[in-house]
Amino acid sequence: MIAGTPFDGVSPAVDREGEVVITTRDLSRSFDDRVAVDALDLDVHAGEVLALLGPNGAGKTTTVRLLNGVLAPDRGETRVFGMDPNTDGIEVRRRTGVLTETAGLDGRLTARENLEFTARMRGLSKAESRRRVDLQLDRFEMHDMAEYRTAGFSTGQRKRLAMARALLHDPEILFLDEPTSGLDPAATRDVTDLIGSLAREHGRTVLLATHFLGEAGRIADRMAVLDHGRLRAIGRPDDLAAELWNGVPADIDLGGPATSEAIAIVASVEGVMRQEARATGLTISVRDRTTMARVLTALTSTGHAVYGASMRRASMEDVYFALEDSPMESFEQVAR
Amino acid sequence: MTLAQTPRNHQVFGIDWPVVRAVVARDLRAIRRSKAVIIPMLLVPFLLLVVLPLLVGIAARRASSPTSTISFLDSLPAALAGPIASLPPDEQLLTLVLGYLLAPLFLIVPLMVSAVLAADAFAGEKERHTMETLLHLPIADRDLFIAKFLTGFLPAVAISWIGFTAFAVVANAVSWGIVDGLIVPNGLWLVVIFWVAPAVATLGLGIMVRVSARSRTTQEANQLGGAVILPLIFLAVGQATGLLLVDLAVAFAAGAAVWMVALFLVWRGASKFTRDRIAGNA
Ligand SMILES: Nc1ncnc2c1ncn2[C@@H]1O[C@H](COP(=O)(O)OP(=O)(O)OP(=O)(O)O)[C@@H](O)[C@H]1O
Ligand SMILES: [Mg+2]
**Which tens digit of pLDDT belongs to each residue from A46-81?**
999 999 998 899 999 999 999 999 999 999 999 999
CA pair distance A18, A7, nearest whole angstrom: 21
CB within 8 Å of chain A, chain B residues 8-37: 8, 18-19, 22-23, 26, 29-30, 33-34
> ipTM of the assembly?
0.85
Asked if residue A137 is part of any domain, the answer here is yes
**Domain endpoint, select from A241, A266, A289:** A241
Over residues A308-320, the mean pLDDT reads: 72
pLDDT digit string (tens) for B214-236? 888 888 888 888 888 878 777 76
Give residue A244's pLDDT band: very low, low, confident or very high (50, 70, 90): low
**Do A33 and A151 belong to one domain?**
yes
Asked if residue A13 is part of any domain, the answer here is no
CA pair distance B166, B160, nearest whole angstrom: 10
CA pair distance B93, A189, nearest whole angstrom: 76
Is A173:A195 a contact under the CB 8 Å cutoff? no
CB within 8 Å of chain A, chain B residues 112-151: 128-133, 135-140
pTM of the model: 0.83
Going across the sheet that includes A75-80, the strands are: A34-45, A20-31, A75-80
Residue B204: predicted pLDDT:
93
Give residue B2's pLDDT band: very low, low, confident or very high (50, 70, 90): very low
**Do A259 and A113 belong to one domain?**
no
Asked if residue A7 is part of any domain, the answer here is no
**Do A81 and A175 belong to one domain?**
yes
CA pair distance A292, B141, nearest whole angstrom: 59
Angle between helical axes of B197-213 and B141-174 (0-180°, round to 10) = 140
Query: B159: number of CA atoms within 13 Å, CB side?
Result: 29
**Do A61 and A201 belong to one domain?**
yes
Asked if residue A69 is part of any domain, the answer here is yes
**Do A174 and A256 belong to one domain?**
no
Which of A69, A71, A100 shows the shortest C-beta gap to B133? Answer: A100
> Containing H/E element for A230?
strand A230-235
Q: Which range marks the domain in which residue A236 is found? A: 20-241
CATH number at residue A279: 3.30.70
Chain B nearest-CA distance from A121, in A, is 5
* Most B CBs within 10 Å, among A106, A114, A125, A173, to test the B interface: A106
**Measured between beta carbons, which residues in chain A are less than 8 angstroms from residue B18?**
120, 123
Least confident of A140-154, A170-184, B207-221, B233-247: B233-247
Q: How many domains does chain A have?
A: 2
Q: What's the A61 CA to ligand 1 centre distance in angstroms?
A: 7
Over residues A258-284, the mean pLDDT reads: 90
Asked if residue A51 is part of any domain, the answer here is yes
Distances (CA, A) of A259 to A163, A275, A282, A291, B10: 58, 12, 9, 20, 82
Residue A9: predicted pLDDT:
38
CA angle B102, B105, B111 (to 5 degrees): 145
Residue B99 DSSP label: I
The full length of chain B comes to 282
